[in-house]
A and B are shown apart, each in its own frame.
Chain A
C-alpha cells in the first residue's frame, strides 16, 4: 500500500536554496572562464618579461610597466600597420555599401529579365569561401602587378552577397505604395533610396556595417595571402610578427599588441553589447 506523503515544505525550500546557490556559483565560474583570458592578456601586457614567467604567477603586475607598449610601437612601428587597417575598414565598408544598396534595391523592387538567375548566382557566391578562391585571385593580382598596393585587400572583399540578401529581405517589406506616392511627387530613384528605403532599413544596415567593420578589422587570412610587403599589411599581421620580435617569445609584447588590436572591439562592445547581441540573435534565427 502506498501512502501519499505530504511534502516537507522546509526540505523543499532548503533544496531550492541549495540548487540556486550551486547554480549561482557555477554561473560565476562560467563568467570567470570567459572573462579571465582577456584579463590575463591585459595583466601580462603590463608585466616585465621576468615577471611574466615567474612562478607562482602574479595575478596583477607587481612591477607595473609600460615597457611592452613602448617596445611594440617603437620596434615594429605599429602606427603604419594601424593606418592600413583603418584605411581598409573605411574603404571596404564604404565601397561595400555603394555596391550593395543599389543591387538590393532592384532585387527587391524591380522585375527584370534574368533577375531570378542573377539572384541564384548571388546565393551560390555567398556559399563560396575565400579559402577556395585565393589562389587564382593572388595570381590575378600578381599578373596585373597590383600586389604592391592595398587593392588586393579591397576589390575582392567589397561584394557582400550575404549583405545584399539581408538588405533585399528588408527592402521587400517596405510597402509599394510608399514608393509609388514618392514617384508621383516626382522623386527620382536616388531620393527613393536615400529618403525612403535606407531610413526604413536602418537596423539591417547597422548590422551589415558592423559585420563588415569587425570582419575587415579582424581579418587575418586574406591579408596574409594577398600581401608581399609589410608596407601594405594591416594590424593583425603585425601582431603575429610580435612573436618573433625579440629572441625568444616575449609574451608581454605580444599581449600588448593584442590589446591594441582588441581595444576598439572591447569599447564598441561595452557601449552596444545589447544591440549587437539582439541583432546577432535575430540574424541566426532567420
Chain B
C-alpha cells in the first residue's frame, strides 16, 4: 500500500507536465523539424514530393528576386521601427516621467493601441492614408500635392513602419519610464548639485543606467520585427510590386496561396536560422542581466 502511494507521488509531477510536453512536441517541435525537412524537397500539392537537396535555397537566393526583396524590406523595417521605437520611447519616457494627471492621461492614450487588434489599427490607418482619406485632405488644405502613401512603391513600406511605430510607442515608453523611475534619485540630485547640466546628466547617468534595459528591448524588438505580417497583408498586400513585401508574408503566400511548400519551407528555415542566432544573443543578455543583479 505504502509502496503504491510512493510510486504515485513520484509519477505525480510527470502527469502534471505531460499535457504541456505533448502539446509542445506536436505543435512546436514536430512542425519545426518538418519544415526544415520539407525545405529539401520539391513539393507542391499536385506533384509527388521529390528530394532536391539545396535547390530550394539556391532558387530563393539566386533565381527568384522576390525573396531577396522581402528579406531586404524586413531588414529596413527592422532597422527603422527598432530605432524609432527605442529613440521616441526614451524621449517620451523622459518627457512624461513626472507624476501628474496630464502625463498619466497622455501615457494611457499612448498605450491603448497596444492592446488593440493589429487588424483594427491597420484598417483605421488604411482609411486615413487612403487616396481620398484624411491625411491627403489635410495636405490638400495646405495646398500640398496628395501623397499616395500605401499605393506608391517609394512610400508603402515607410507608411507601414509609421503605423507600427505609432502602435508600439506607448509600450516601449511605458517600460523605459519604469526603468527611468528605478534610477536612484540621489544620483540625479548629486549631479544637479555639481551643476552637471541636463544634457551631461543624461549622457553620464541616465543613459548608462538604462543601457541594460535598452539592449534587452533592442533584441526583443529585432526578433519581433522579423515576424511582421498583419499590417503588411492588410494595408499593402506587399505591394505595389514587392515594395513592402516581408519575410513572413512571403512564406505565407508561397505556402497558402501558391502551394509551393518546398520553397516556403526553405524561406521559413532561413527565418528560423536568423531567429535562432538572435535568440542565443537574447539569452546571453538575460543571463548577464541576472548576473548583475
Interface residues, chain A, with chain B CB atoms under 8 Å away: 23-24, 27, 30-31, 33-35, 37-38, 40-41, 44, 53, 55-57, 99-100, 102-103, 105-107, 110, 112, 115, 118, 121-122, 125, 127-129, 131-140, 155-156, 158-159, 161, 164, 189, 214, 217-221, 225, 236, 239-240, 243, 249, 251, 254-255, 258, 261-262, 265, 269, 273, 276-277, 280-282, 284-285
Per-position contact with A for B78-99: 1 when CB-CB < 8 Å, else 0?
0000000000000010011000
8 residue pairs A–B, Cβ–Cβ below 8 Å: A134-B255, A135-B264, A139-B261, A156-B27, A159-B19, A218-B119, A261-B119, A269-B112
- Of B92, B113, B127, B234, most buried by chain A (CB within 10 Å of CB) is B127
Roughly how many angstroms separate A31 CA and B179 CA in the complex, as a whole number?
A: 23
A interface SS class = helix
B65 within 8 A of partner (CB) = no
B124 touches A40 (CB 8 A): yes
A277 touches B31 (CB 8 A): no
Roughly how many angstroms separate A107 CA and B264 CA in the complex, as a whole number?
A: 37
A136 touches B31 (CB 8 A): yes
**Within 8 Å CB of B31, what residues of A?**
132-137, 140
Roughly how many angstroms separate A106 CA and B125 CA in the complex, as a whole number?
A: 46
Interface residues, chain B, with chain A CB atoms under 8 Å away: 10, 12-14, 16-17, 19-21, 23-24, 26-32, 34-35, 38, 92, 95-96, 102-103, 105-121, 123-125, 127-128, 130, 132, 134, 137, 140-141, 166, 170-171, 174-175, 177-179, 182, 213, 223, 227, 229-230, 234, 248, 251-252, 255-256, 261, 264-265, 268, 271-272, 275, 279, 282
B141 touches A56 (CB 8 A): yes
Roughly how many angstroms separate A210 CA and B127 CA in the complex, as a whole number?
A: 29
A284 touches B171 (CB 8 A): yes
The chain A residue with its CB closest to the CB of B163 is A37
Whether A102 contacts B17 in the complex (CB less than 8 A), given A132-B268, A135-B264, comes out as yes
A103 touches B118 (CB 8 A): no
**Within 8 Å CB of A225, what residues of B?**
252, 256
**Within 8 Å CB of A220, what residues of B?**
117-119, 230, 234
Q: Which of B17, B19, B35, B117 contacts A133 (CB 8 A)?
A: B35
Q: Which of B16, B19, B120 contacts A258 (CB 8 A)?
A: B120
B106 touches A30 (CB 8 A): yes
